[in-house]
Each structure stands twice: as structure tokens, then as C-alpha cells.
């Protein structure tokens, strides 16, 4: 039996990664069983030593532990970095995480390394970080200083990944992300079964919502969060990583079951925008993109692609079986458009954002100061019946960036994203990893239009996906 398992694992990964698989499995098992935060953090150190034994490289082992830490929201000392004034209940702007622990170690072993080639994205992001520093200088405050610390950690993460991650690492990164996807999905299924969080140390939702989160328009709809702090953050993670599983080249019954499980938990997040992104970006746009292997089938055969047809039929029957859950959420859509429904609140927050941008279009309000500013001086009636809180951040990442760093900051960030997307659109061929990472990036960008991800872990996920695309060095072809 063990020989069969090893054979299947090797076939699954494409490389001989038995020790790597063991390290990942043990890591997630320890996270699941962790009785307290010290034990939780200890699991990362133990995983580092296993990876060190596998890679025979300190830097490489640290890189993969850092990637694992990207998806960890468990904190130490968060109370010391709470945003002010405390009466607005805006939460903490930064905290000591497992990423905070391992990034300095990775920096120490990387100080002699140099990038072989600076991409436009590298320069644009560097300019964005510099401009954010200038914005901080113009808007010096306690909250902005915490935001600067957080942004510095993100910058260090991005450039350390650029220095240490190479194309030959992508298969192992894909395995790590797929394992993370399955682990989070399993936790989410258990949450849905019990209709509340499991009480695990890794569940960051317990900090603010011990009983879990329900839909704003229907409190009977429990929304799964896995280890994340909010269902929308979990949905963004699923959209970012699911393509790596969806486009995996090796097919088997286990892979099919894994895909079904992920689709189930995506539905159970009850994130309507995530459902739309899944259908439009993954099932429609990606199969007919210029670099997709299906593109020429579309051109030569007909508009109907077999793969898309099978996916559509499978999706239809899945939705039919899950229709009670699906339509219970869809039926709340009209209510969400009410003045104080979820979409109505988003519109009010966008109005607040445009007001801030119109008054601070050069340097912005400063990092972490947008919510503080319109909570004290709102131009809408958004706080007429509710007190300000972290939930009322601008639910549009790009407007959030513009309001805090000004229009120059937004333009530099868009240049950063646009250069990567443009580079991928130039390709006429790609393999499964490139296609999957690109799909995940597009999904994350789209869902960012209705969520406040500037100061969250989703920005770190965005940086990881972009670094993977930048080191993805397959030959490009003329169109």
C-alpha cells in the first residue's frame, strides 16, 4: 500500500517530493491540532527543518515557509498596534505573524543576491512604495506609521520572493498551494456541517466573531471562513488558488473529488461576486484567451468547446443539487440593493472614497487613515444607525489605495498590475501553471473591486501570484 501511495504522490506532483509532501502534511496536521499560539508558531519552525532536509538550502527552505506564512493571520501583540481613536473600533493595523518571524531570516541569507533582470512591475511597485512613504511623510500620524510598517513588510516579502523564487520552484509551489487549498476547504466543510467555527487556534474569525459570520440580509445563512477572518477573504483565496487545481494536468478520481469539494465551499462562502468571477473568468474568459490551448480549437472548430460544455453541464447539475443554498442567497440580492443592504453600504463607502480623493488627490489621507477620516467627517448617512468599525472600510481596493496614497499612488499600482497582465496577454502559448496562476490573478483583481484588500493578507497573495508569473520563463511567441 505504501508503494502505491508513493507512486501516486510522485505522479501527482511530477517530481520526487515525498519528504516535501510529508512536511506539508505534518505542518497542516499540527496547525489543525495546535492547542495554543506558541504551538501554532512552533509548527512553522518544524516545517522549516523538514524543508531544509529536502531542499538542502537554507534560503529555499525559508522561501517555502514564508509562502506558507502568507496565508496565516494568527497574530501576536496585535493590541499594541490598534488604530486610533479606539472609539472607532477600527481594529489593529499590523501584528506580529509567522511571516514577520521568517522574513528577516530570509533577508539575512539573501543580502548578496541580485535580480538578473528588473521588470516593469518591479520598478512600478518600488515607485509605489516610495510614493506611499512620501504620503506618510505628508500625513504623519500613529495610524500611518502602523500602515508604513505593514507596507514595508509587504515590500520585503515581494522582493525577497523575486530574489529567491525561480521557475524550477513553481511545481513545488503549486503543490504547496494545492495542499493549502484542500486544507482550508476541509476546515470550511466542517464549519458548514456544524454551522459555526470549530474553535481552532488557526481560525482568525474567532477574534472578532466567535460565533461565525452570517449573511447581512439573512442571518440564517452561515458563511464559512476556514482559517480566514471573513468569508469574502476566504472566497478571494479560493478564486486565487483554485485554478492551480482546476488546470492540473494529471486527472484522477481524487482530483475530481477535490475540485468538487472546493466548489462546494466556494458556494458556502455565499459570496455572490465570487460566484460570478468563477463563471466569467474561469469557465468563459480563460478557455478562450489568446494563450490558452483551447483558443485554436475555438477558431478552427466552432464556438462551443467540449471542455466548456462539460464544465457547464457539471456546474448546472451541481447548482441544481445545491439550489436551496444557492437560491436562498440569490433571493437576498434585491435586499442587498437597499440603502443599508450590503451593496447599498458599498455604494455609500464608494461615495466617501470619492470625497476623500477629491480633497486629497495628490498625497491621499495617509496609510490607514481613510476610515478614520470619513468616520469622523462622513458625507453620507452611513453611520446613521451603526457605529463605525473595521467592517466599514472602503470596499474597493483601488479606491482604498487612491484615498490613502492619492491618484499618483493608484496610477503606480495600476502600472504594476497592468505590466504583468500585458506581458501575459502577449503570449500565444503557455502551460498549465502559467494559465492557472494568471487565472488566479485575474480572479483576485476582479473580486478586489468590491472588497477592502489593501491592508490584508490578500495583497500578499497578489504579490505571490505576480512573482510566480514574473519568474515563469516559458518562451514567448510572436502573434
Name the residue with higher pLDDT: 236 or 114: 236
Average pLDDT over residues 7-30: 72
Inter-residue contact 191 to 308 (CB < 8 Å): no
Domain ranges of the chain: 121-471
What whole-number distance in Å separates Cα of residue 410 and Cα of residue 398?
7
Inter-residue contact 98 to 74 (CB < 8 Å): yes
Torsion angle of alpha carbons 50, 54, 60, 66, nearest 10°? Answer: -30
Average pLDDT over residues 364-381: 92
Decide if pLDDT at 156 tops 70. yes
The whole-number pLDDT of residue 175 equals: 93
What whole-number distance in Å separates Cα of residue 36 and Cα of residue 311?
42
Cell matching residue 167? 521557475
Confidence tier at 319 by pLDDT (50, 70, 90): low
pLDDT in tens, 265-316: 998 898 888 888 887 766 655 555 555 555 554 555 544 555 556 666 665 6
What whole-number distance in Å separates Cα of residue 276 and Cα of residue 267?
11
Inter-residue contact 65 to 171 (CB < 8 Å): no
Decide if pLDDT at 323 tops 90. no
Q: How far is CA 229 from the centre of its chain?
A: 12
Q: How far is CA 335 from the centre of its chain?
A: 28
pLDDT in tens, 179-211: 999 999 999 999 999 999 999 999 999 888 888
Decide if pLDDT at 359 tops 90. yes
Amino acid at each position: 500500500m505504501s508503494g502505491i501511495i508513493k507512486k501516486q504522490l510522485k505522479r501527482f506532483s511530477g517530481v520526487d517530493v515525498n519528504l516535501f509532501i510529508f512536511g506539508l502534511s505534518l505542518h497542516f496536521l499540527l496547525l489543525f491540532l495546535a492547542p495554543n499560539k506558541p504551538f501554532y508558531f512552533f509548527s512553522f519552525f518544524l516545517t522549516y527543518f523538514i524543508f531544509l532536509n529536502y531542499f538542502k538550502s537554507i534560503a529555499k527552505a525559508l522561501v517555502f515557509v514564508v509562502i506558507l506564512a502568507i496565508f496565516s493571520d494568527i497574530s501576536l501583540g496585535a493590541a499594541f498596534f490598534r488604530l486610533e481613536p479606539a472609539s472607532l473600533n477600527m481594529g489593529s493595523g499590523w501584528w506580529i505573524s509567522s511571516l514577520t518571524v521568517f522574513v528577516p531570516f530570509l533577508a539575512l541569507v539573501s543580502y548578496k543576491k541580485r535580480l538578473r533582470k528588473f521588470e516593469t512591475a518591479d520598478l512600478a511597485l518600488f515607485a509605489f512604495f516610495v510614493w506611499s512613504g512620501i504620503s506618510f511623510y505628508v500625513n504623519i500620524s500613529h495610524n500611518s506609521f502602523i500602515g508604513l510598517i505593514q507596507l514595508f513588510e509587504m515590500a520585503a516579502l515581494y522582493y525577497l520572493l523575486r530574489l529567491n523564487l525561480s521557475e524550477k520552484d513553481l511545481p513545488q509551489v503549486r503543490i504547496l498551494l494545492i495542499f493549502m487549498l484542500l486544507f482550508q476547504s476541509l476546515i470550511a466543510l466542517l464549519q458548514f456541517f456544524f454551522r459555526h467555527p470549530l474553535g481552532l487556534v488557526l481560525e482568525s474569525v474567532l477574534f472578532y466573531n466567535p460565533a461565525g459570520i452570517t449573511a447581512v440580509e439573512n442571518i440564517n445563512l452561515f458563511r464559512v471562513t476556514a482559517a480566514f477572518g471573513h468569508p469574502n477573504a476566504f472566497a478571494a483565496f479560493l478564486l486565487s488558488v483554485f485554478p492551480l487545481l482546476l488546470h492540473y494536468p494529471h486527472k484522477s478520481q481524487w482530483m475530481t473529488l477535490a475540485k468538487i469539494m472546493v466548489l462546494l465551499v466556494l458556494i458556502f462562502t455565499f459570496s455572490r461576486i465570487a460566484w460570478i468571477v468563477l463563471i466569467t473568468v474561469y469557465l468563459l474568459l480563460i478557455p478562450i484567451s489568446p494563450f490558452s490551448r483551447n483558443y485554436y480549437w475555438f477558431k478552427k472548430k466552432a464556438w462551443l468547446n467540449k471542455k466548456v460544455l462539460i464544465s457547464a453541464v457539471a456546474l448546472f447539475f451541481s447548482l441544481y443539487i445545491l439550489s436551496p443554498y444557492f437560491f436562498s442567497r440569490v433571493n437576498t440580492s434585491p435586499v442587498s440593493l437597499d440603502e443599508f443592504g450590503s451593496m447599498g453600504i458599498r455604494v455609500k463607502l464608494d461615495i466617501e472614497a470619492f470625497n476623500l480623493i477629491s480633497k486629497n488627490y495628490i498625497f491621499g489621507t495617509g496609510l490607514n487613515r481613510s476610515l478614520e477620516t470619513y468616520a469622523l467627517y462622513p458625507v453620507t448617512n452611513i453611520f446613521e444607525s451603526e457605529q463605525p468599525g473595521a467592517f466599514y472600510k472602503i470596499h474597493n481596493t483601488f479606491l482604498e489605495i487612491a484615498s490613502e496614497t492619492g491618484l499618483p499612488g493608484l496610477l503606480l499600482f495600476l502600472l504594476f498590475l497592468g505590466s504583468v497582465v500585458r506581458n501575459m496577454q502577449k503570449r500565444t502559448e503557455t502551460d498549465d501553471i502559467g494559465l492557472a496562476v494568471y487565472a488566479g490573478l485575474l480572479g483576485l483583481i476582479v473580486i478586489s473591486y468590491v472588497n477592502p484588500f489593501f491592508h490584508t493578507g490578500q495583497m500578499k497573495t497578489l504579490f505571490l501570484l505576480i512573482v510566480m508569473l514574473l519568474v515563469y520563463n516559458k518562451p514567448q511567441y510572436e502573434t
